Structure 1
Amino acid sequence: MTDAILLSIIIPVYNVESYLPRCAESVFSQMTNECEVIFVDDGSTDDSGRICDNYASSRANVSVVHKKNGGLSSARNVGMKSASGQYLLFVDSDDYLLRNAIDDLLSIIVSYAPDIMKFDYTRILGDEGTNVSSPLKDGLYSSESELKELLHRSLRDEHSMILSAWSHVYNSRFIESNNLLFVSEREIGSEDYLFNLQAYLYASSIYHINRCLYAYVARDGSLTEIYRPKLYEKYTDLYKRIMSSFQSKDAYGLFSNDILHFYIWLVYAPVLQQELAIGRKENIRRVRRILRSHDFHDALEQYDSSTLSLKQKFLYSVMKHRLWIILYVIYLVKR
């Protein structure tokens, strides 16, 4: 690893020839000599790979790795292995960086050198953008109590942004020393959840940037918009891996109810919601099977619901007592 490069920007690429130029230019327009860009072409069948080659041949500190298709996690892991920077930033190729993002990140790297940085983002849908902001104050969190609170929020707060690797920057040595790698969403439903929860569990310092540095572009046909069968089984595997990680750090007892909360509401939305949204007989049968399943019902039995809102307590009770028809009616009314 060379000290000359402070920030490695890793851009996994798969069949995004229409979006890639916008993403790339948002990075190139603010790069400094302290940055490198690594495109990881994950077996694209359109012109994306050639576009990456053109960038690499015409710009300094830009490289491309071509690989057989293996999914987002595989591409990110290859990018990490190829990176020479002290810090890692992941940018999805259909998204883009907002103005001054790199300057802001480099400034914090030089001043604080945290294990992790996290930042707010803008969600782009069509021609409209909505800022997604954390209630956290801008600054460094490094005391034991502060780090526990961040992990607590990350397991419970829908705006914690724990779900997205692209809303974080990671110290490379921190990642290496803790042997952190992305596990495929094809196995656990979301590669980001496990990676970030493990990173937060191991971190000794996290800097929160209370500004939007990234534009997340929601588009039809993207991975997050597609119905995914067997999602319950994948999220249950994720839940068990999270439990194992916390147990290995003797932290499960402290966060057990937070982890149960994370799992229960992850199953409710999106797993049960996507089944109810389709509403065919086989989907309703699947909802009933999930509510009867050992892992989910056991989590509901163990969970302390005393801090939930009245609305959440009602939904929790409906799931605990396996009242699938009430869940379906609630979905129909909300729709």
Structure 2
Amino acid sequence: MDTRVSVIVPIYKVEKYLKRCLDTIVNQSYPYLEIILVDDGSPDNCGSIAEEYVKADNRIIVIHQKNGGLSDARNTGMLHVTGEYILFVDSDDWLENNMIEQMLNTSIKLKADVVQSAFYYAYDDHLLFDQRYFKKGNPPSILNNIELMTELVANERVKNFAWGKLYKTKLIRDIPFKKGVLFEDVFWAHHVMHRVKKYAIINQPLYYYFQRSDSIVSTYTPKNLDIIEGLKERQYFIEKNHKELTFQSYKVLLNTIFIHYNLLLLNRKKDEGGSYRKELQTYVKKNYNNFKKAVESDKPLKKQLFLFSIHPYINIIFLILAKILRRLRIVSKPMGLEKINLSINGRQKHEHTKSGG
């Protein structure tokens, strides 16, 4: 089998992590790769590191361009693809050495348009694996289009992330990423998945999604609100093309609005006069009836919507009290993720942890 897989790696200010990422790509068990490195005007040594890899491996090409953001870098990469399949890899992440081989074999065997692997949330000293939705010993799961779109909207088993999925090139070549936005995958994923007839999920974690230590609270800016604009665009698309998912989509949108309202409140200096918060509050009021229908069967979110409609601060007080009660174990926490500690000798120690609180 000599099917070519094109791997697109956008690169920007990841000097510390780039070699780890690239080593796991060039050492893949599947050799027929086209590795496209897009140096997006990185101000550090990333460009020269990429050039070193080009000299050592004739499967690699590097494109240097002015900084245009992640979307622009991925779009540039897609213009140079010659493979039948595309895999996006973020340059601070890394892969299991048989990831591409497993994904390609699964695609061919199951005739799947897109193959997704489970993944680890990777920290400096431990990994987290979401065992609620993935079972390591299980065979691949297969979704039809309706099931896939349902999972995509829920954003649990099928994430909006572009990475960690093997796409048939013909499926995505004419769907560019939206430039100039954060959370570009949210603007992109539903257009792709809408076309998919068969989607396969490998339950074994083959991708390491690196979690940097920066706190979202400390690095938050109003630009993060792009995710809400992306979900609004998706809401319109869902209502037009997948009406049965309309209220599930509204539910996800509402929950995201609540999260970002609270983050804006924590970063009040970046929202002087509260204009962004007022905009979110106005949107909830304008769409209140749809949101109300969407959360009818979700008691916690239903309560939050009611309290938020009276005043957002009342909802925040409710959330703080709920968190205190969880810490006091008066209210139970939901089951969460499996934690895998990484020791110095590379052995993994497994333990079960809980989310929330």
Match of 2:298 in 1: 309
State how far apart, in whole Å, the 2-side matches of 1:77 and 1:225 are: 30
Letter in structure 1 aligned against 2:256:
L
- Of residues 162, 169, 191 in structure 2, which corresponds to 1:165? 162
Letter in structure 2 aligned against 1:67:
Q
Q: Secondary structure at the match of 1:166?
A: coil
Matching of residue 132 in structure 1 with residue 130 in structure 2: yes
- Segment of structure 1 superposing worse, 96-105 or 133-142: 133-142
- Does the CA-based 8 Å contact 1:7-1:34 persist in structure 2? yes
Deviation at 1:112, TM superposition (A): 2.9
Match of 1:47 in 2: 45
TM-score under structure 1 length normalisation: 0.85
Structure 1 residues 34 and 222: alpha-carbon distance in aligned structure 2, compared to 1, 3 A threshold: farther
Structure 1 residues 313 and 182: alpha-carbon distance in aligned structure 2, compared to 1, 3 A threshold: same
State how far apart, in whole Å, the 1-side matches of 2:37 and 2:131 are: 28
Where do 1:1-335 residues align within 5 Å? 4-133=2-131, 135=133, 138-139=139-140, 141=142, 146-157=144-155, 159-176=156-173, 179-184=174-179, 186-187=180-181, 189-221=182-214, 226-232=219-225, 234-246=226-238, 250-269=240-259, 271-278=260-267, 282=271, 285-286=274-275, 288-293=277-282, 295-303=283-291, 304-305=293-294, 307-319=296-308, 321-333=309-321, 334=323
Query: What are the Cα deviations for residues 24-79 of structure 1, in whole angstroms up to 9, with x where unaligned?
Result: 11111215332121111000111100110110121021111111100001111111
State how far apart, in whole Å, the 2-side matches of 1:74 and 1:224 are: 26
In structure 1, runs of 5+ residues without a counterpart are: none
- Does the CA-based 8 Å contact 1:6-1:87 persist in structure 2? yes
Deviation at 1:285, TM superposition (A): 3.1
Deviation at 1:326, TM superposition (A): 1.5
- Does the CA-based 8 Å contact 2:72-2:177 persist in structure 1? yes
Letter in structure 2 aligned against 1:105:
M
State how far apart, in whole Å, the 1-side matches of 2:320 and 2:272 are: 15
- Does the CA-based 8 Å contact 1:164-1:193 persist in structure 2? yes
Deviation at 1:123, TM superposition (A): 0.5
State how far apart, in whole Å, the 2-side matches of 1:291 and 1:237 are: 11
State how far apart, in whole Å, the 2-side matches of 1:263 and 1:236 are: 7
Letter in structure 2 aligned against 1:238:
G
- Does the CA-based 8 Å contact 1:116-1:205 persist in structure 2? yes
Letter in structure 1 aligned against 2:41:
G
Deviation at 1:230, TM superposition (A): 4.3
Letter in structure 2 aligned against 1:6:
R
Structure 1 residues 229 and 152: alpha-carbon distance in aligned structure 2, compared to 1, 3 A threshold: same
- Does the CA-based 8 Å contact 1:17-1:48 persist in structure 2? yes
Query: What are the Cα deviations for residues 142-196 of structure 1, in whole angstroms up to 9, with x where unaligned?
Result: 6xxx421221122124x234221112221101113xx211113x43x41111211
- Does the CA-based 8 Å contact 2:217-2:266 persist in structure 1? no
- Does the CA-based 8 Å contact 1:162-1:197 persist in structure 2? no
Structure 1 residues 14 and 219: alpha-carbon distance in aligned structure 2, compared to 1, 3 A threshold: same
State how far apart, in whole Å, the 1-side matches of 2:312 and 2:270 are: 13
State how far apart, in whole Å, the 2-side matches of 1:288 and 1:166 are: 31
- Does the CA-based 8 Å contact 2:141-2:203 persist in structure 1? no
Structure 1 residues 163 and 24: alpha-carbon distance in aligned structure 2, compared to 1, 3 A threshold: same
Letter in structure 2 aligned against 1:139:
P
Query: What are the Cα deviations for residues 267-324 of structure 1, in whole angstroms up to 9, with x where unaligned?
Result: 122x12312333569568357514432x3323332131355332222112223x1421
In structure 2, runs of 5+ residues without a counterpart are: 325-357
Cα RMSD over matched residues?
2.7
Q: Secondary structure at the match of 1:198?
A: helix
Q: Secondary structure at the match of 2:221?
A: coil
- Does the CA-based 8 Å contact 2:217-2:263 persist in structure 1? no
- Does the CA-based 8 Å contact 2:262-2:316 persist in structure 1? no
State how far apart, in whole Å, the 1-side matches of 2:216 and 2:2 are: 35
- Does the CA-based 8 Å contact 1:243-1:252 persist in structure 2? no
Q: Secondary structure at the match of 2:220?
A: coil
